[in-house]
């Protein structure tokens, strides 16, 4: 049991380690520093910022500007960064609990949901999450290969990730090259033969998970038009009533935007994004068992109201075949279990109640907490994680007041730094990241790009060892 004074001095401040340097980790770090904790942030990669670096679409630089907020946090007293330290490989959960009053998991959700239909793993059928990681220069995806010599792609799912990947597939090279898209992806995307992308929703337009700006933005693409069939916008009675009586403003506006697209008709453009609704893939088609993708067999759905009031896609007996050479499955992320951290397999999340990690019985694990997507699931925008982190940090502060944090036995902060350096000799400190950052930005500047990303771990580590002006 800890017995901490109310106004901790820097030397006797409680210590927290946050595992994951994405948005939720950084918001929590800032709030914990404000609450008087010393904070070490670990990340599996040598680079910070999680999905802001490796997820947000490169043609959305304004969204990425949020990293300035995180940089301010990193400059605060009491903050340290250890990039390239992997929980479960380099350090264990038990070893973190030996060293910190608070272990806070901010790991995000790095796996993709599966469709579980035949042909899902054919060449040419990919998880959108992998495609996103590839064009964003995630080191684990640098060697992925995408055959874009095909004319038509199908993107399965109606969320913002689906829109991102559809847009990236039809961007004009002039829209792509001024971004921080990884060079290997610019090379492949600039030569792409894909002219048509079909975005496939299993439910109707009223249930699409897009946000309004993302849906609207499709109209502004340089060489691509957006097409919606007006008949797809004749809503069934359940959806019409739901939209009228219950739906939030986002869903109502989405339907308006889609109606506007349908009314205007296709613009004269070399490329197209076509939105189709009420269709679920039942098979990814191709030659034999392992031949590349040639199409998608879909079943036409209708919307029915479930007993709990939810509007569900229910298959009819009508089927269609869509010819396509590329399929990107964009049906949501899920968390991966890490080390022996309690995990709820069904939900794909770290088991928790309100941010306190807990056993199956519901009993809280002393000193262990969780924030972000691995706490609540992959939903919301970046800013959602600020409030989410505040909720968990409030529980931590409550537990501190109740003397109910973890009791570490190894308390020397220098020893902790040496421990990481010994376990992960390639680990990178904040100064190391700043050297990488300066190098990437200066490589981008002559080309009018925000940065040119280093995509190989060895290159990132080497650059982190150089001073920022070398
Ligand atoms: P999402 O918003 O949850 O969308 C997932 C989509 O997959 C839904 O349309 C869902 O349909 C569909 N789906 C799920 N299982 C399916 C199945 N078996 N067959 C067919 N379709 C299926 O997830 P996301 O696109 O991965 O985005 C994750 C979060 O990041 C979201 O909160 C998103 O807004 C956010 N994000 C934001 C931005 C941005 O602000 N620019 C960019 C990217 C991501 P149902 O609704 O029928 O389940």
pLDDT in tens, 381-416: 999 999 999 999 999 999 999 999 999 999 899 999
Tell whether ligand 1 has an atom less than 6 A from the beta carbon of residue 301.
Answer: no
Q: Above pLDDT 70, what percent of the chain?
A: 97
Say if 202 falls within a structural domain: yes
Distance separating alpha carbons of residues 435 and 427, to the nearest angstrom? 14
Q: Is residue 295 part of a domain?
A: yes
* pLDDT tens figures, 265-286: 888 999 999 999 999 999 999 9
Is residue 469 pLDDT above 60, yes or no? no
Shared domain check, 318 and 196: yes
Q: What residue ranges in 128-261 does DSSP mark as E strands?
A: 152-156, 196-200, 224-228
Question: Does residue 434 fall inside a structural domain?
Answer: no
Q: Answer for the pair 332, 128: CB distance below 8 angstroms, yes or no.
A: no
Q: Are 330 and 162 in contact (CB under 8 A)?
A: yes
Domain boundary, last residue among 332, 351, 385 = 332
Q: Write the CA distances from 397 to 10, 16, 18, 34, 288, integer angstroms.
A: 17, 12, 15, 11, 59
Q: Tell me, using a 6 A CB cutoff, whether residue 214 lines ligand 1.
A: yes
Does the beta carbon of 207 lie inside 6 Å of ligand 1?
yes
- Alpha carbon nearest to ligand 1 atom 15, residue: 331
195 and 101 belong to one structural domain: no
Q: Is 159 in the pocket of ligand 1 (CB under 6 A)?
A: yes
Please report the DSSP string for 1-23 in residue order. -----SS--TTT--EEEEE--SH
What pLDDT, on the 0 to 100 scale, is given for residue 467? Answer: 62
* 203 and 288 inside one domain: yes
CA of 159 to the centre of ligand 1 (A): 3
Residue 408, H or E segment = none
- Across the strands, what pairs with 304? 312
Residue 4: predicted pLDDT: 41
* Residue 230 pLDDT greater than 60, yes or no: yes
User: Looking at ligand 1, which residue's alpha carbon is closest to its atom 22?
Assistant: 331
HSE (CB half, 13 Å, CA atoms) of 325? Answer: 12
Neighbours of 241 (CB within 10 A): 14
DSSP assignment letter at 91: B
Distance between Cα 79 and ligand 1 center (Å): 34
pLDDT of residue 451: 98
378 CB within 6 A, ligand 1: yes
Query: Residues 47, 174: one domain?
Result: no
Q: What is the DSSP string of 333-385?
A: EE----TT--EETTTTEE-EETTEEE-TTSPEEEEEEE-THHHH-S-S-TTHH
Structural domain includes residue 465:
no
Do 43 and 81 share a domain, yes or no? Answer: yes
β-strand pairing of 279-286 with 224-228: unpaired
Residue range(s) defining the domain that contains residue 390: 15-110+335-428
Tell whether the model's pLDDT for residue 208 goes beyond 90: yes
Per-residue pLDDT reduced to its tens digit, 6-54: 443 445 899 999 999 999 999 999 999 999 999 999 999 999 999 999 9
CA contacts within 13 A on the Cβ side of 136? 25
Q: Is 20 in the pocket of ligand 1 (CB under 6 A)?
A: no
pLDDT in tens, 303-312: 999 999 899 9
Single pTM value for the model: 0.95
Q: Using an 8 Å Cβ cutoff, are 143 and 103 in contact? A: no
Pairing relation of β-strands 356-358 and 224-228? Answer: unpaired
Boundary of a domain, candidates 263, 297, 332: 332
320-378 pLDDT, tens digit each:
999 999 999 999 999 999 999 999 999 999 999 999 999 999 999 999 999 999 999 99
> Which tokens in the block code for residue 302?
């209708």
Total domain count, the chain = 2
Q: How far apart are CA 185 and CA 263, in angstroms?
A: 35
Express as a percent the part of the chain with pLDDT over 90.
95
Helices (H) and strands (E) in the chain, counts: 17, 20
327 and 370 within one domain:
no
Residue 466: its pLDDT value, please? 87
Kindly state whether residues 68 and 120 are assigned to the same domain: no
Measure the CA–CA gap between 456 and 138, rounded to whole angstroms.
8
Say whether both 157 and 270 belong to one domain: yes
* CA neighbor of 162 nearest in space, from 117, 210, 194: 210
CATH code, domain with 86: 3.40.50.720
Please indicate, yes or no, if residue 407 is contained in any of the structural domains.
Answer: yes
Most informative mutation of 114, 168, 208, 209 for ligand 1 (most atoms within 8 A of CB):
209
Task: Report CA(325)–ligand 1 centroid distance (Å).
Answer: 23
Residue 452 domain-assigned (yes or no): no
pLDDT value at residue 12: 80
Would you state the pLDDT for residue 11? 53
99 and 168 belong to one structural domain: no
pLDDT of 164: 98
Residue 39 domain flag: yes
Do 99 and 63 share a structural domain?
A: yes
Q: CA-to-CA distance for 21 and 70, rounded, in angstroms?
A: 9
SS3 call for 277: coil
Tell me: do 139 and 155 sit in the same domain. Answer: yes
Q: Percent helix, strand, coil in the chain (nearest 5)? A: 35, 20, 40
Q: Is the domain of 73 the same as that of 176? A: no
CATH code of the domain in which 237 resides: 3.50.50.60
> Over the stretch 78-111, which tens digit does the pLDDT of each residue have?
999 999 999 999 999 999 999 999 999 999 999 9
Q: What are 341's two structure tokens?
A: 């951290």
Q: Compute the chain's Rg from CA coordinates.
A: 24
Domain boundary among 276, 307, 332: 332
Q: List all residues 6 or more positions away from 20 whose beta carbon is below 8 Å from its beta carbon.
A: 41, 42, 43, 50, 105, 106, 107, 108, 372, 374
Give pLDDT, residue 3: 43
Q: Does residue 280 fall inside a structural domain? A: yes
Long-range contacts formed by 337-345: CB under 8 A, 24+ apart? 338/87, 338/88, 338/105, 338/107, 339/87, 339/88, 339/92, 339/93, 340/92, 340/93, 341/87, 341/93, 341/105, 341/368
Q: With a 6 A CB cut-off, is 109 part of the ligand 1 pocket?
A: no
CB atoms within 10 A of CB 212: 15
């Amino acid at each position: 049991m800890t017995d901490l004074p109310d106004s901790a001095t820097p030397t006797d401040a409680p210590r927290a380690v946050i595992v994951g340097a994405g948005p939720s980790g950084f918001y929590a770090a800032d709030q914990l520093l404000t609450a008087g904790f010393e904070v070490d942030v670990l990340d599996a990669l040598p680079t910070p910022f999680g999905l802001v670096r490796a997820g947000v679409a490169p043609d959305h630089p304004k969204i990425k500007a949020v990293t300035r907020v995180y940089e301010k946090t990193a400059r605060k007293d009491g903050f340290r960064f250890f990039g390239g330290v992997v929980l479960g490989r380099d350090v264990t959960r038990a070893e973190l609990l030996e060293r910190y009053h608070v272990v806070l998991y901010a790991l995000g959700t790095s796996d993709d949901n599966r469709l579980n239909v035949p042909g899902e793993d054919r060449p040419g059928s990919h998880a959108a999450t992998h495609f996103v990681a590839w064009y964003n220069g995630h080191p684990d995806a640098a060697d992925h290969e995408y055959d874009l010599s095909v004319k038509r792609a199908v993107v399965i799912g109606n969320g913002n990730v689906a829109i991102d990947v559809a847009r990236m597939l039809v961007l004009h090279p002039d829209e792509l090259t001024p971004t921080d898209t990884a060079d290997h992806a610019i090379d492949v995307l600039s030569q792409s033969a894909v002219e048509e992308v079909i975005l496939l929703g299993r439910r109707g337009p009223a249930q699409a998970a897009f946000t309004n700006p993302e849906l609207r933005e499709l109209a502004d693409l340089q060489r691509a038009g957006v097409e919606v069939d007006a008949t797809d916008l004749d809503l069934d009675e359940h959806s019409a009533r739901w939209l009228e009586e219950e739906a939030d403003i986002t869903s109502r506006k989405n339907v308006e935007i889609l109606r506007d697209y349908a009314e205007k008709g296709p613009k004269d453009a070399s490329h197209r994004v076509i939105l189709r609704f009420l269709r679920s893939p039942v098979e990814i088609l191709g030659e034999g068992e392992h031949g590349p993708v040639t199409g998608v067999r879909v079943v036409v759905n209708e919307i029915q109201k479930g007993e709990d009031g939810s509007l569900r896609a229910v298959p009819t007996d009508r089927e269609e075949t869509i010819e396509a050479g590329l399929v990107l499955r964009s049906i949501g992320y899920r968390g991966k279990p890490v080390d022996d951290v309690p995990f709820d397999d069904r939900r794909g999340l770290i088991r928790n109640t309100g941010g306190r990690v807990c056993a199956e019985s519901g009993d809280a694990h002393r000193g262990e907490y969780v924030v972000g997507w691995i706490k609540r699931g992959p939903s919301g925008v970046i800013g959602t994680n600020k409030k989410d982190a505040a909720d968990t940090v409030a529980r931590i502060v409550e537990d501190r007041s109740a003397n109910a944090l973890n009791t570490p036995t190894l308390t020397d902060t220098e020893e902790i730094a040496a421990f990481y350096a010994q376990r992960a000799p390639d680990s990178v400190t904040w100064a190391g990241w700043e050297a990488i950052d300066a190098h990437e930005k200066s490589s981008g500047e002559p080309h009018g790009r925000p940065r040119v990303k280093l995509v190989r771990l060895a290159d990132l580590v080497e650059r982190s060892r150089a001073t920022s002006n070398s």
